[in-house]
Amino acid sequence: MRLSWWKLVSIPILFYVLFAGLLAGVPARDILNETIRNLYFHVPMWFTMIVLFAASAIYSVRYLRTFNPVYDNLASSFAYTGIFFSVLGMITGMEWAQYTWGAAWSNDPKQLCTAISMLTYFAYWILRSGMKDADKRAKISAVYNIFIFALLIPLIFVLPRMVASLHPGNGGNPAFSNYDLDHRMRLVFYPAVFGWILLGFWMNNLLVRVRALTDAHLEREMDLMND
């Protein structure tokens, strides 16, 4: 398999993030303690999710403008990869909350809004799985995909900031960058964001290739059956 330069770049970055994230020094903070290391994993996974969903919405727009099935395939692949990172982000967030808030789920506004966003994308997955006509599936799912991404923005970035929240950066609770993210953590956190996003695009690239091979195999089987 041919490796592009950005794939090669992601490998040492993620090794560095894993090594430094688990072993490098972090600031001693009340309640957070060593769990602050989760900042290198939980937050970048949310960033990766948002970038992947944004790419999915862009390709949905391009499909509706051209009706090129390639764009529909890319839009759905980016959405599926984004769903995977949303699950990872939720799991790492719940694990962090268990140690810092005392419970994995506390009905925090950010948790609730994120869960709603995830459900809308799970519905996208179900919608595509339940429609057999390829053209109809592509058009309806493209419109729905654009709508749920537009809904994602207020759910993730706006509504949680308008109410009291335990989550840093929301509801008057200061974000980590204001008092916890010191220079040592910045040297790991920013590469982590970049590295996890590159990994997300790499995983999407693999998914696109697998789906293309699967479609080609099904077409050959259909040709053999027709012969």
Residue 28's pLDDT band, with cuts at 50, 70 and 90, is confident
Mean pLDDT for 168-184 is 62
State how far the Cα of 75 lies from the Cα of 77, in Å rounded to an integer. Answer: 6
Show the tokens assigned to 149: 């991404």
Mean pLDDT for 42-59 is 96
The alpha carbons of the chain give a radius of gyration, in whole angstroms, of: 20
Residues 154 and 116 sit within 8 Å (Cβ to Cβ): no
CATH topology of domain 5-202: Four Helix Bundle (Hemerythrin (Met), subunit A) (1.20.120)
Average of per-residue pLDDT values in the chain = 86
Residues 166 and 96 sit within 8 Å (Cβ to Cβ): no
Domain boundaries, the chain: 5-202
* pLDDT at residue 223 is higher than 60: no
pLDDT at site 87: 96
pLDDT tens figures, 114-130: 999 999 999 999 999 98
Share of the chain above pLDDT 70, in %: 86
* pLDDT at residue 111 is higher than 70: yes
DSSP notation for 29-85: -TTTGGGGGGGGTHHHHHHHHHHHHHHHHHHHHHHHHH--HHHHHHHHHHHHHHHHH
pLDDT tens figures, 52-82: 999 999 999 999 999 999 999 999 999 999 9
Residues 67 and 134 sit within 8 Å (Cβ to Cβ): no
pLDDT at site 162: 80
The residues, ordered by sequence, that sit 6+ positions from 192 with a Cβ below 8 Å of its Cβ are 13, 17, 21, 40, 41, 44
State how far the Cα of 103 lies from the Cα of 123, in Å rounded to an integer. Answer: 27
- For 99, 145, 187, the CA distances from 103, given in Å and listed in that order, are 7, 32, 30
